[in-house]
Amino acid sequence: MGGNTFMDIGLGHYLAVSAILFALGLIVVMTRRNAIGILMGLELLLNAAGINFVAFNRFSAPERMDGQIFVIFIVILAAAEAATALALVLNIYHQIHTANVDEAHLLKQ
Amino acid sequence: MDQTPILLALLITALPLCAFVIQVFFGRFLPRQGDWLPTSAVGAGLVMSLYLFFTQVLGAPHGMEHPAFWKMTWLSIGETSPFVVNFEVMIDNLSIVMLVVVTLVSFLVHLFSTGYMKGEERYNRFFAYLALFTFSMLGLIITSSMLMLFIFWELVGLCSYLLIGFYFTKDSAAAACKKAFLTNRVGDTGFFLGLMMIATVVGSFSFPDIFDSVRQGMWSPTLLTIAGICIFMGAVSKSAQFPLHVWLPDAMEGPTPVSALIHAATMVAAGVYMIVRMFPFLAGWDAEAGQSAMMTGNYFESDTLFLIAMVGGFTAIFAATIAVAQYDIKKVLAYSTVSQLGYMVMGVGVGSPAAGMYHLFTHAMFKACLFLGSGSIILAMHHEQDMRKMGGLRKKLPITHITFLLATLALSGVPFFSGMISKEAVLTQAYAYWEYHKHLSGGLALERFLPFLFCLVAAAFTAFYMFRLVIGIFYGKPRDQHAYDHAHESPRTMTIPLMVLAAIAVIGAGIAVPGGPGTDWFENRNAPEVVVGGMMSSEAMVPSTEVREAWESGAAWHDVHVEEVPETAPPAIKEFHHAYHLAHWPTFLLATLCGILGIALAYWIFFFNRGKEYVKPGGILDTWRVWLVNLYYVDDIFKAVPIAFTHWMARLCAAIDRVVVDSVVNGAGILGMVFAWVAGKIDYWAVDGAVRGTGELVLAGGERVRRIQTGRIQDYVGLTVFGMTIVFVVVMVWTNWN
Amino acid sequence: MLLTLVTFIPLIAALVVLCIPKEQKDIIKWTSMGAAVVTFIISCQLIMGYRSGGTDSVAEKFDGQIQSVIDDNVADTALKASFQKGVQAIEADNVDDAVGADRGPVHYAEVAGIDLKSLDAAQSKAWHETWELSMAKGAAASEHIRFVEFGHWIDGFNIRYFMGGDGLSLPLIWLTALLSVLCLAYSWNITKATKAYFALFLILETGLMGVFLALDFFLFYVFWEIVLLPMYFLIGFWGGPRRIYASIKFFIYTLVGSVLMLICMLALYFHNGFDTFNILTLMEAAPGFSQTMQMWMFFGLFIAFAIKVPIFPFHTWLPDAHVQAPTAASVILAGVLLKMGGYGIFRFNLGLCPDAMTGAIQLPMWLGGNFIMFMAILGVINIVYGALCAMAQKDFKSMVAYSSISHMGYVLLGLAAMTDAGVQGAVLQMFNHGLSSAMMFLIVGVIYERAHHRNLNKFGGIGAQMPYYTGLATIGFFASLGLPGLNGFISEALVFMGAWNSHTASPAVGVFGLPTWIVFLALPGIVLTAAYILWAVQRVFMGPLKSETYKTFKDLSFREVFVLAPLGLLCIVFGVWPQLILGFMNDTLNTLVSSVIAVAGN
């Protein structure tokens, strides 16, 4: 690869991608009615945060490995959380017979 | 000093009191309801009084030289110069004569009542009241302290109230006794005012102290006149002078013996007695001589006495005219009493208290006889009092008839009857009084002639209406045959008093022609010179030698009524004597003439020409008759003016109290309640409002905020993001402020 | 000891009564009666003891008390000597009645050479008490107070339990005891809540006794308030149709007056550093009070007592209270409670405001010009206005209530006269009125019990039906009317004489003399009183029987005779021999008058 100045992919690019992903993920979480869909959005959020970690790790402290290890943690946690969440959603589905979160408002005051 | 008179006097007074106490509690249980108890108590008193009379009074040419005197401290207040009131007893000729009069008439009335009141309800109570009255009257007579006199004066009024109201179940009797007491109270207020003035100026209520204070000039002449008039007010009400005479005719509601005792002989005489006693006080201050009138003997220029004479004279003629139109026996006699009291009062007013007292003495006898006689008639006619229903009773009631006739002759002033002498004494004095003033003023002194004129005319009227009464009752044909048939003479207990009194009415003043033997027994012992002189020269009564000497040396007043006037006497006295002696026979003749005229007229109208109407309807006589029947409207004026006014004032005050004063109080209460209500509202809305408002606010806020909890996760996420964004922005801005 | 007994035996009896179960009505009644009779006997003993006792024994008691105070608290002999010196200085000044200078404890401490700052708490309290007692001794000796009792109560504020009886209070004590016995006897037939009634009555008696005997202002105030509450309940529970209104009116009206009295009391306490509630001390120091202070003091105290007497225009609670109250309560109200006001005026206004009583303090014309005219005018208004109102009443009891107002006017007139006769007549009038008006209320009660109405116009002919009752009623009514021979006359006569005499006698000693027109205004009272009483007698007792039901009336029962006859007898006894009471009161009242006159010179 040698001296490619135009469109050097820097920190900003990665952060932008991460932000866009985060925003998308937020929109998905906030607007989708389907519980599963919300969970997907949640994955997006988590992964966006992961990208952020890796980017900072690469560009601010390349000699360390903290960011990358964090991402591994995030992925594992995401997986665990997804499993748990799905279990919860299944349970709720048994109760209210729909996956539409608008119907799950028993905590309403 | 011989104290027997004092002891006897106290005993005479105490006996009826004891009788009263026993009678009022135990009378019912005694045999014969206890009528003998008060009767014998008074009888014993009579015996003792007669003893005193015959030994002390008739024993010497001028009776007792010095009064017997005794005193006891009754109350004492104050430290430095204590105000002391004593219970004092003084016995002199006048007291003894009065003792005899009161005990005699009282005893005879008691005796009479045993017959008259027989079978009446509350018989025992009647005697109890009579005893109480006798006690009060006797107490009044024996005391020489004006305050004590006032106390007994009111007690006598109480007894009069109780006795007039004896038949209290009748509305008229109830009203009459209240009227009597109240009218007397009005006069007593004046009397009391006079007493207050005396207390202030003299410092004591004792007669010698009062008389000496006048002599010493402690009184300014105006104050003395006013005090004298105030004292006289008491006599005006008690002795039924115009205008406070209105109670006496109404007092006839009481049983007849009561009328005889109280309203003829004794109680009403108390007023006259009092002004006789107070004569030196009333005689006033002789401004010219710069001495008290008592010293100069000039009793004829006192304004107080002139007022007294005018009131007395006017009352005499006023009442005499009313008596002409009355048909009730007792009313005729009542107005006659008022008229005769006017005589007595006038006698004092024109300067001869002895003449006034003499008339009191003779009047007591014959008027009591007349009243008791009327009682006898009323009982015989079964309690009929209207003379139009009577007639021809002389055959049926012989004793009553004779005694009644004798007493009437005495009252009319016929010679050889006692009334003649006393009337003549008064008239002569009145005439001399006029002559004196004619000489003094140089003119006709018409206003000083009036007393004499009034009494002369009244004498004519007196004879007229009395014989109208006698003829109407005893002569001619009976008008109510049924009642006539049932009439019979009264029992001994009733006729004996009549006879005794009639006898005294005839011989009580000696052989009753001027200058006749025995006629001057009274004046010799009861002229002011004797009475006051004896008092003021008595060591027991007047401890100070210099005072006694001052009274002795005031020689002029000793000479007023003596036969021969010494050369050293002032011209006024000489003039008076001259007139007096000249006037004796002329007034005698004039008075007799008036009497005969009255009798003749009565005879002519009521006997010879019975049935003929002399009073033409619509004429002057008829109008006058209407006025007379309505008693000159005096009662009506009283009812319409003072009484109505007082009632109006009373209602006004009660209304003010209820509406005005109480409104303030209730208003204050309401104001308090209003304040409380306002405070409550303020508390509820303002203070508590803030508290509650805060709560409301929180609740409302909470209500709003609650809505965030939708239960939807996505909303929560949105909120979180939103919140974080805000925080992020704020932090960014804050940290990068510069 | 006797004073405490006479005051508190009724209270103890009340507590005992409260413990008795309410079904045992007889035990309740006899216990109360027993206590009242014992109190009466003790009061008789007080009266006897007063006549024979001397003022020296009281001086000794004071000396003993002062000595024990000094000995207990002051160990240092030098200080003791200073204390004694102070006592002597105070006693020297006591003799001279009109010393106007400062008579406070601070001043005398200077005179005695005591440094107040160097004293510890106990010693300074002792000094204060010594000063207080020495001053009081002066007043006590001259007032002829013969029974005294000392005690500590609330030392922090110098409130003592100080009781004493003199010629002014002891006759009233005797009257209270007598009327209590009679009222309890009359109340024998109360069936509603008997226990409460008798207990309340006994508490009332304690309060009344205490008022007359207390010589500490705070104590006086406490007893004054104690009187109010039982009265409120007696009227409010056992009374007539409008009882709630009447009782509240009575209570609040009197309380307003009490508040004024409280203010004056506190003003006196804080005046000049005195810090004392002792009435005698204050009386001794009174000539030194400034005229402004005396003026406001007089107003405050006068209004407080005027409400009680009652004096126009503060009198409107009386007709309501009397008409609505049960008979026995009316009797004690008229007989004793009204005298509390009169007593208060004599003790406080006369004793604490001497300059006011000489007429030296100027007032605006519409109030009369000075205090003497002020009181005299109010007295005259009471007499005449009260009599007129009485005449217009249709309710028998209401008429008697207004007659009470009228009679109490004489008290004020006599006091305003400031002459021997006037003042003694005024106090005698209080005593006599207690007897005669008590009798009148009982008379009304008797007929009300039978007829169940009190309308004067509906009565008639009772005299024929009930002769004994009429006899006793006549005595009562004529006593009230002022008939000589019965007690009402002499007191009225003395008041009038005193008032008339005042225009010459008073200026001679420097006191304002009443003008004679005041007496003229009061004279119609004599006729008006006779008018309304006789009219009432006529309407009730005379005439034909107005209603068939009256034929069933029985004459007096034993209980009623027991109550009415002693009063009738006393009316006659005191009418015939008033010196019994007058001689008793002579010393004390002379001193009261002369202490005012002594101030007049300055």
| pLDDT tens-place string over residues C410-436 | 999 999 998 888 999 999 999 999 999
Residue B161 vs residue B529, higher pLDDT: B161
> C48: which residues sit within 8 A by CB, 6+ positions away?
none
Domain that holds residue C84: 58-144
Evaluate whether C216 touches C225 at the Cβ level (below 8 Å). no
- Which of C144, C164, C189 is at the close of a domain? C144
Q: C92 lies in a domain?
A: yes
pLDDT at A4 exceeding the cut of 70: no
Q: If DSSP codes are grouped into helix, strand and coil, which group holds residue B74?
A: strand
How many structural domains are present in chain C? 2
Residue A20 vs residue B553, higher pLDDT: A20
Shortest Cα distance, chain A CAs vs residue B670, angstroms? 53
Evaluate whether B118 touches B177 at the Cβ level (below 8 Å). no
Q: C439 lies in a domain?
A: yes
- Which of C144, C160, C180 is at the close of a domain? C144
| Side-chain-facing half-sphere of C92: CA atoms under 13 Å | 9
Q: Which residues of A touch B714 (CB under 8 A)?
A: 29-31, 38, 101
Does B contact C via 3+ CB–CB distances below 8 Å? yes
Closest alpha carbon to B322 in B343, B344, B338: B338
For B513-538, the DSSP string reads STT-TTTTHHHHHHSHHHHHHHHHT-
Q: Do the Cβ atoms of C526 and B151 come within 8 Å?
A: no
Q: Which residues of A touch B713 (CB under 8 A)?
A: 38, 101, 104
Mean pLDDT of B710-737: 89
Q: Is B712 on the interface with A (CB under 8 A)?
A: yes
Whole-number pLDDT of residue B506: 86
Q: Is C573 on the interface with B (CB under 8 A)?
A: no
Q: C561 lies in a domain?
A: yes
The pair phi, psi for residue B281, each rounded to 5°, is: -70, -45
What letter would DSSP give residue B489?
Answer: P
Query: Six-digit token pair at B49?
Result: 């009084």
Evaluate whether B161 touches B181 at the Cβ level (below 8 Å). yes
Q: Which residues of A touch B712 (CB under 8 A)?
A: 101-102, 104-105, 108
Which of B411-420, C343-352, C592-601 shows the lowest per-residue confidence on average (mean pLDDT)? C592-601
Shortest Cα distance, chain B CAs vs residue A16, angstroms? 17
Q: Is B718 on the interface with A (CB under 8 A)?
A: yes
| Residue C378, amino acid | L
Shortest Cα distance, chain C CAs vs residue B191, angstroms? 11
Closest alpha carbon to C249 in C231, C227, C224: C231
d(CA C299, CA C303) in angstroms, rounded, equals 6
**Nearest chain B residue to A101, by CA:** B712
Q: If DSSP codes are grouped into helix, strand and coil, which group holds residue C385?
A: helix
- Please give the C-alpha separations between residue C185 and each of C36, C198, C209, C560, C562, in angstroms, as whole numbers: 10, 11, 19, 8, 8
Q: Do the Cβ atoms of B718 and A30 come within 8 Å?
A: yes
The position carrying tokens 């226990």 is C195
For B176-241, the DSSP string reads HHHHHHHHHHHHHHHHHHHHHHHHHHHS--BHHHHHHHHHTT-S-HHHHHHHHHHHHHHHHHHTT-
d(CA C531, CA B253) in angstroms, rounded, equals 20
- Which of C129, C144, C159 is at the close of a domain? C144
Mean pLDDT of B325-344: 91
Q: Do the Cβ atoms of B171 and C424 come within 8 Å?
A: no
Q: Which chains touch B (3 or more CB pairs under 8 A)?
A: A, C
Q: C151 lies in a domain?
A: no
d(CA C538, CA C536) in angstroms, rounded, equals 5
Which of B125-129, B412-416, B605-609, C150-154 shows the lowest per-residue confidence on average (mean pLDDT)? B605-609
Q: Do the Cβ atoms of B717 and A30 come within 8 Å?
A: yes
Whole-number pLDDT of residue C125: 83
Whole-number pLDDT of residue A52: 93
Mean pLDDT of C279-284: 86
d(CA C336, CA B505) in angstroms, rounded, equals 58
Q: C52 lies in a domain?
A: no
Query: Six-digit token pair at B413?
Result: 């002033």
Which of B227-236, B381-390, C491-500 shows the lowest per-residue confidence on average (mean pLDDT)? B381-390
The pair phi, psi for residue B145, each rounded to 5°, is: -110, 130
Give C9: exposed, middle or buried? Use CB within 10 Å, 0-12, 13-18, 19+.
buried
Relative to beta strand B68-77, strand B83-91 is antiparallel
The position carrying tokens 């608008």 is A102
Residue B450 vs residue B296, higher pLDDT: B450
Q: Which chains touch C (3 or more CB pairs under 8 A)?
A: B
pLDDT at B432 exceeding the cut of 90: no
Q: C457 lies in a domain?
A: yes
User: What's chain A's average pLDDT?
Assistant: 88
Where does the pLDDT of residue A1 fall: very low under 50, low under 70, confident under 90, or very high at 90 and above?
Answer: very low
Closest alpha carbon to B493 in B379, B598, B406, B597: B379
List, for residues A62-96, the tens digit of each pLDDT value: 898 989 999 999 999 999 999 999 999 999 899 88
Residue among B28, B75, B193 with most chain C CBs within 10 A, to mutate:
B75
d(CA B216, CA B237) in angstroms, rounded, equals 31
CA dihedral (C415, C420, C421, C427) positive or negative:
positive
Residues constituting chain A: 109
Interface of C with B in 128-157 (CB under 8 A): none
Closest alpha carbon to C300 in C268, C252, C331: C268
Evaluate whether B533 touches B549 at the Cβ level (below 8 Å). no
Mean pLDDT of B184-209: 92
Q: C170 lies in a domain?
A: no
Evaluate whether B397 touches B489 at the Cβ level (below 8 Å). yes
d(CA B211, CA B228) in angstroms, rounded, equals 12
d(CA C409, CA C399) in angstroms, rounded, equals 16
d(CA B368, CA B240) in angstroms, rounded, equals 17
Evaluate whether B345 touches B273 at the Cβ level (below 8 Å). no
User: What's chain C's average pLDDT?
Assistant: 89
The pair phi, psi for residue B475, each rounded to 5°, is: -110, 170
What letter would DSSP give residue B618?
Answer: T
Q: Where do the domains of chain A lie, and which CATH numbers do they carry?
A: 8-108 (1.10.287.3510)
d(CA B467, CA A61) in angstroms, rounded, equals 164
Closest alpha carbon to C39 in C204, C227, C228, C194: C204
pLDDT at B562 exceeding the cut of 70: no
Evaluate whether C588 touches C166 at the Cβ level (below 8 Å). yes
Give B542: exposed, middle or buried? Use CB within 10 Å, 0-12, 13-18, 19+.
buried
Q: Is B75 on the interface with C (CB under 8 A)?
A: yes
**Nearest chain B residue to C475, by CA:** B158
Q: C378 lies in a domain?
A: yes
Residue C538 vs residue B631, higher pLDDT: C538
Does C contact A via 3+ CB–CB distances below 8 Å? no
Q: Do the Cβ atoms of C420 and B82 come within 8 Å?
A: yes
Out of C391, C504, C586, closest to residue B77 by CB? C586
d(CA C205, CA C175) in angstroms, rounded, equals 11
d(CA A33, CA A24) in angstroms, rounded, equals 15
Whole-number pLDDT of residue B593: 87
| Side-chain-facing half-sphere of B528: CA atoms under 13 Å | 32
Shortest Cα distance, chain B CAs vs residue C531, angstroms? 6
List, for residues C167-219, the tens digit of each pLDDT value: 899 999 999 999 999 999 999 988 888 999 999 999 999 999 999 999 999 99
Where does the pLDDT of residue C477 fall: very low under 50, low under 70, confident under 90, or very high at 90 and above?
Answer: very high
d(CA B244, CA B315) in angstroms, rounded, equals 10
Mean pLDDT of B15-30: 90
Evaluate whether B315 touches B339 at the Cβ level (below 8 Å). yes
Q: At what angle do helices C217-238 and C194-213 cross, to 10 degrees?
A: 150
Shortest Cα distance, chain A CAs vs residue B725, angstroms? 13
> A46: which residues sit within 8 A by CB, 6+ positions away?
A25, A74, A77, A78
Whole-number pLDDT of residue B121: 82
